[in-house]
Structure formats: structure tokens, C-alpha cells
Amino acid sequence: MTSESNITPVIKIDHVWKYFDELPALQDVSLNVYPGQRVVIIGPSGSGKSTLLRSINRLEEIDQGIIEVEGVDVHSREHDINRIRQNLGMVFQQFNLFPHKTVLQNLTMAPIKLRNTPRMEAEERALTLLKKVGISDKANVYPAMLSGGQQQRVAIARALAMKPDIMLFDEPTSALDPEMVGEVLDVMVNLAEEGMTMICVTHEMGFARTVADRVIFMDKGQIVEAGSPDDIFNNPHHPRLKQFLNQIL
């Protein structure tokens, strides 16, 4: 943490506000994420965690403030958001695999169409990624034939196929049967160990504790407390955080 001041952040969130109609969803949120950092965002539902994450790749528009990814203002009309998004892998709660494509095609579609990667090369890389997430034997089946955990692992591989610098996870295990949570978290832990910059919204406190460099606690659209997992879980200050931790742990 000491060297942070002289490294430029990959993601810079600066005094961001967002409203849903009249309701503030994000209130003056500021956050820097540095290369290789694993940031975990926790908080009660409706606290703006997902909104914040989704505004990083502009799936949500913001009303005020600046979000920069690798020095580029994401919400400025001057920049091609599609190009920026290629560098920001995203994993959704509901997997959102393309049901009309096989697992392999789910992984190769974006590199082939968007990066003009030769098919052979894209498929080779896709198979390597599928091996990495432990489902290389399912390359030619359709997503409907996979379990939730398998689908989410494919979704992670699909995002990785574009070789992103940063991965965003939006409650990746919340829609899974309990016995499948582990297999998805394992993949995420491996990814973290490889040095991927990750921002993860999750309710998995065990994951937050062991993997995160920095834990952010949000409530009512604000960052209430931020710190190392040790600070947040063993030495919480804010009463709202204490109350939250009491309820879930």
C-alpha cells in the first residue's frame, strides 16, 4: 500500500454520482484501483455495489464525476466505448452465455469478430482457457446442457478470451447452487494468483478475506469504509459495517 502514490491507478473513480429518477444510487463515490489489485466490494443489497461496477464499463451511465480506465474517460463520448470494453472482462450473476452458440463458439466469437483473430488461433486459445477452468471436455456442447457452476466457469473463460487487463465480477456466485460455489471461486482464486486486476462484487466473505487486497464496504450509494480484509473484518469502525458483519457472519 505504501507504493500506491507513485503508481498510476488502472481505474480511477472520481466523485461519481448517479441517480435512478430521484433516488441517488451512487453518492460521491471515489476509488482508485491499482494494477494487479484485487478489490472486493461488499454491502447490503441496494447499496450501489453493482451499479458502481457496471458504471466502470458504462453498462450504467453516470450523472456526475469521472471514471477513467487506463487513463481513458469511459463516459466521454469522444472515446469508443466498444474498444474500452474489450479490455474489461465482465462476469454476470446470471452467466449470460449465448445459448445458440456452443461453449467453444461462446469463447471464440468475440476474438474472431472483434479482433480478427484467425479461427484456428482463437479456438486454440479457447481450448486452453477451457482447460484452465476445468471444462475442456464440454467444448462442443450448448450452454443449456451445463450446470450453473460450469456455465459460470465458461462465462469467465469467455471474458478471458478477449485478453482483458481487468476483470469485473458482478455477484458471480449468487445464482449458483451452494455446492457449485466452490468450483467458481477456485477459478477466481487462480486468476487472482496470476496477478489479474479484479474488482468483485460478492457476498462470499471467505473469498473477500483470503483473496482481496482491499475490501470496500458500501451502503446507500456511498463507500462507508475501505481497507485491508483484516481492517474490515477484524477491526471494523463504522457502526453500519459492524451491524452488517454481525448479520452475515
Partner 1 sequence: MVPERVAKAEKKDWAFINAWSLSLFGAIAALFTLCTLWPEPYLDVLSFLPDGLFVTFEVTVLSISCAVPLGLLTGLGRISKNRAINLLASTYVEIIRGIPLLVQIFYIYYALAKFLQVSGLTSAVIAISFCYGAYMGEVFRAGIMAISKGQSEAARSLGFNRFQTMFYVILPQAWRTILPPVGNECIAMLKDTSLVSVMAMPDLMQRGRSFAAKTYLYFETYTIIALIYLIITLLLSKGVSFMETRLNYYDKRK
- Site residues for partner 1 per CB under 8 A: 57, 59, 82-83, 85-86, 88-90, 92, 94, 96-100, 109-110, 113-114, 141-145, 155, 158-159, 162
Nearest to 52 by CA among 229, 95, 61, 44: 61
Nearest-approach distance from CB 245 to partner 1, in angstroms: 31
Query: 113 or 119: whose CB is closer to partner 1?
Result: 113
Query: 141 or 205: whose CB is closer to partner 1?
Result: 141
Nearest-approach distance from CB 85 to partner 1, in angstroms: 4
Nearest-approach distance from CB 135 to partner 1, in angstroms: 16
Nearest-approach distance from CB 169 to partner 1, in angstroms: 12
Q: Where are the alpha helices (DSSP H) in 41-193?
A: 49-56, 81-86, 103-115, 119-132, 148-160, 178-193
Query: What Å distances lie between residue 168 and 40, 156, 240, CA to CA?
Result: 10, 10, 26
Sign of CA dihedral 5, 194, 225, 237: negative
Query: What Å distances lie between residue 138 and 59, 145, 179, 218, CA to CA?
Result: 30, 9, 20, 38
Query: 59 or 245: whose CB is closer to partner 1?
Result: 59
Nearest-approach distance from CB 109 to partner 1, in angstroms: 7
Element (H, E) at 66: strand 64-69
Which three-class secondary structure state does DSSP give residue 97? Answer: coil
Nearest-approach distance from CB 116 to partner 1, in angstroms: 13
Query: 50 or 202: whose CB is closer to partner 1?
Result: 50
37 within 8 A of 197, measured Cβ to Cβ: yes
Query: 10 or 53: whose CB is closer to partner 1?
Result: 53
207 within 8 A of 188, measured Cβ to Cβ: yes
Cell numbers that stand for 130 in this block: 477451457
Query: 144 or 248: whose CB is closer to partner 1?
Result: 144
Nearest to 188 by CA among 179, 178, 102, 201: 201
